[in-house]
């Protein structure tokens, strides 16, 4: 990675890294030449130069360790072979005119924040009052003061998104409520150093995110003094963990929860210091005993006992705070559960209403079902009635019996015929005999006798 160091700004990449034609002499000679006086004269040349330098300047803003960059910073880094682009002033003013770059004072005013937050940001971002006064009188384009910082809109938006992603992925954040978290300003400064190097850059980034309603910034006043110096207020940043979700305003509940977390951290720090002092007094007492300094040893032990009592009291306070925080977390779960119950109940009522489920409707439906069943019975009975003049049941039975008797007779005749046929078949199988004349029944005996005599 190439690093170009200058007096005020550091760039992590050079123009040679950001372009593919920086070493092309012919191409760069064209790009470093002046713009034609008339735009209509060779408009393609005007467009090509403007697009190249606009993109390069925006990329340099993004690759800078500072969000606010002066025109002199850009000129120094794009200087090639001791030469500056002849049309740079035209490019710069065109970018200012289009709103691609904005002076820092103007950008702060456009944020339109509350007076305390804007005042804090101005004191940090505008170190020189002369620049601030001059910018009130002169327009951003006409203001040619050396050292006036500018902000690039596109690169700033990219850095803001990166910082916002870091906040969402940070694990040690305080959970305020559903998908809402808080991080202290010092913690943000530590975890975003890879993206925004300085506090100035972080300040203007947070201002922009607050303008976009992605974060909310508030302060918590520290009570007491440290080494005789009044403690400064601590800044906290509230944000939502849902994508494309605006951050809600800071509420009294937020202040209360953050105050508990802050007090807990202070107590932990104080207890650790007391334990350190307690160990020191114990070592002092041992040393005094070895040196046979009983009075000093007793004094050290007495101080140690006082510290032990103080530690015990502070640990009780710490336990109480932990219980309160745990109760708050449980309340969040209870609220979430209750809201789920309410949503489910509302959904059930709506479903019942749309479906028409009620006692009267059910009773009416059951009554209609009973009527329908009775109606079906009547219909079946009606359709089972006899149609026209039909003979009586006794007559039908008599006729049916006669038909059955006739059928039985026919069956007997058929059986007799079949028996006769069977007999004939048996006769056909007997050996041939001379045919005998057929005689009557009365002459049967005579015929038999004649036959016998013949044989």
Predicted local confidence at residue 7, as pLDDT: 41
For residue 169, pLDDT over 60 is answered with yes
Q: How far apart are CA 4 and CA 17, in angstroms?
A: 11
For residue 352, pLDDT over 50 is answered with yes
For residue 439, pLDDT over 60 is answered with no
91 band by pLDDT with thresholds 50, 70 and 90: very high
Q: Which of 178-187, 248-257, 335-344 has the highest mean pLDDT?
A: 335-344
Q: Residue 328's domain spans which residues?
A: 253-336
Q: Which of 71, 65, 237, 54 is nearest to 145 (CA)?
A: 71
Identify the helix (H) or strand (E) that includes residue 285: helix 252-290
In three-state secondary structure terms, 217 is strand
Count up the domains in the chain and report the number.
1
The whole-number average pLDDT for the span 81-87 is 89
Identify the helix (H) or strand (E) that includes residue 229: strand 229-230
Compute how many other C-beta atoms are within 10 angstroms of the C-beta atom of residue 78: 19
Task: Give 308's contacts (C-beta < 8 A, 6+ positions apart).
Answer: 278
Q: Is residue 196 part of a domain?
A: no
For residue 291, pLDDT over 60 is answered with yes
Q: Residue 305, CB half-sphere, CA atoms under 13 Å: how many?
A: 6
427 band by pLDDT with thresholds 50, 70 and 90: low
Q: Is residue 208 part of a domain?
A: no
Predicted local confidence at residue 144, as pLDDT: 45
Compute how many other C-beta atoms are within 10 angstroms of the C-beta atom of residue 222: 14
Q: Which two tokens stand for residue 26?
A: 């012919």
Q: How far apart are CA 157 and CA 148, in angstroms?
A: 21
The whole-number average pLDDT for the span 192-221 is 83
121 band by pLDDT with thresholds 50, 70 and 90: very low
Q: Is residue 192 part of a domain?
A: no
Compute how many other C-beta atoms are within 10 angstroms of the C-beta atom of residue 277: 15
Task: Give 385's strand partners.
Answer: none
Residue 75 sits at φ, ψ, to 5 deg, of -60, -40
Predicted local confidence at residue 407, as pLDDT: 75
Residue 235 sits at φ, ψ, to 5 deg, of -90, 140
For residue 47, pLDDT over 60 is answered with yes
Q: Is residue 33 part of a domain?
A: no
The sheet carrying 101-103 orders its strands as: 69-70, 149-152, 101-103
**Per-residue model confidence as pLDDT tens digits over 293-312:** 889 999 989 999 999 999 99
Least reliable range by pLDDT among 249-253, 342-346, 447-451 = 447-451
For residue 3, pLDDT over 80 is answered with no
The whole-number average pLDDT for the span 93-122 is 73
Least reliable range by pLDDT among 90-94, 122-126, 326-330 = 122-126
Q: What is the pTM of this model?
A: 0.57
Of the chain, the percentage scoring pLDDT greater than 90 comes to: 22
For residue 40, pLDDT over 80 is answered with no
Q: Is residue 442 part of a domain?
A: no
- Higher-pLDDT residue of 263 and 272 is 272
**Per-residue model confidence as pLDDT tens digits over 216-257:** 887 876 554 544 444 567 788 888 766 555 656 777 887 888
The whole-number average pLDDT for the span 138-148 is 48
Q: Which of 260, 261, 263, 213 is nearest to 238 (CA)?
A: 213
Q: How far apart are CA 115 and CA 199, in angstroms?
A: 20
E strands present in 80-184: 101-103, 149-152, 174-177, 180-184
For residue 114, pLDDT over 60 is answered with no
Q: Is residue 316 part of a domain?
A: yes
Q: Is residue 430 part of a domain?
A: no
The whole-number average pLDDT for the span 134-146 is 40
175 band by pLDDT with thresholds 50, 70 and 90: low
Least reliable range by pLDDT among 38-47, 167-176, 345-354, 369-378 = 167-176
Distances (CA, A) of 147 to 68, 212, 310, 399: 10, 28, 54, 131
Predicted local confidence at residue 135, as pLDDT: 41
Residue whose pair of structure tokens reads 């103080």 in the numeric block: 310
Average pLDDT of the chain to the nearest whole number? 77
For residue 191, pLDDT over 80 is answered with yes
Q: Is residue 305 part of a domain?
A: yes
Contact (CB, 8 A) for 187 and 203: no
């Amino acid at each position: 990675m190439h690093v170009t160091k200058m007096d005020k700004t550091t760039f992590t990449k050079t123009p040679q890294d950001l372009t593919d034609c920086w070493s092309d002499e012919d191409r760069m000679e064209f790009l470093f030449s002046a713009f034609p006086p008339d735009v209509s004269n060779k408009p393609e040349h005007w467009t090509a130069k403007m697009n190249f330098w606009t993109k390069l300047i925006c990329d340099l803003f993004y690759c800078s360790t500072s969000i606010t960059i002066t025109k002199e910073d850009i000129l120094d880094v794009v200087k090639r072979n001791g030469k500056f682009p002849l049309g740079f002033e035209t490019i710069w003013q065109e970018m200012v005119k289009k709103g691609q770059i904005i002076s820092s004072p103007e950008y702060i005013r456009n944020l339109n924040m509350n007076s305390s937050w804007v005042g804090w940001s101005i004191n940090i971002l505008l170190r020189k009052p002369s620049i601030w006064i001059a910018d009130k009188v002169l327009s951003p384009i006409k203001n040619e003061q050396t050292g006036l910082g500018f902000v690039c809109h596109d690169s700033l938006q990219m850095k803001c998104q990166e910082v916002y992603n870091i906040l969402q992925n940070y694990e040690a954040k305080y959970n305020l409520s559903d998908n809402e978290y808080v991080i202290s300003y010092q913690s943000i400064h530590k975890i975003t150093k890879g993206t925004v190097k300085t506090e100035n850059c972080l300040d203007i980034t947070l201002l922009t995110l607050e303008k976009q309603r992605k974060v909310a910034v508030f302060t918590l006043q520290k009570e007491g003094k440290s080494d005789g110096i009044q403690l400064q207020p601590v800044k906290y940043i509230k944000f939502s963990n849902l994508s494309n979700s605006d951050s809600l305003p800071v509420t009294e509940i937020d202040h209360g929860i953050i105050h508990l977390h802050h007090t807990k951290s202070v107590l932990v720090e104080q207890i650790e210091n007391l334990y350190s002092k307690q160990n020191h007094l114990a070592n002092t007492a041992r040393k005094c005993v070895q040196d046979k300094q009983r009075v000093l040893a007793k004094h050290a032990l007495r101080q140690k006992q006082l510290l032990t009592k103080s530690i015990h009291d502070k640990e009780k306070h710490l336990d109480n705070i932990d219980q309160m925080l745990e109760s708050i977390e449980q309340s969040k779960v209870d609220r979430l559960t209750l809201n789920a119950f309410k949503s489910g109940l509302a959904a059930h009522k709506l479903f019942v209403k749309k479906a028409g489920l009620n006692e009267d409707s059910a009773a009416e439906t059951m009554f209609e079902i009973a009527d329908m069943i009775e109606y079906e019975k009547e219909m079946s009975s009606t359709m089972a009635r006899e149609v026209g003049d039909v003979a009586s049941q006794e007559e039908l039975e008599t006729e049916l019996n006669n038909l059955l008797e006739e059928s039985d007779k026919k069956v007997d005749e058929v059986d007799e015929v079949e028996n006769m046929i069977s007999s004939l078949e048996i006769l056909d199988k007997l050996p041939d005999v001379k045919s005998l004349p057929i005689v009557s029944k009365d002459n049967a005996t005579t015929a038999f006798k004649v036959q016998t005599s013949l044989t």
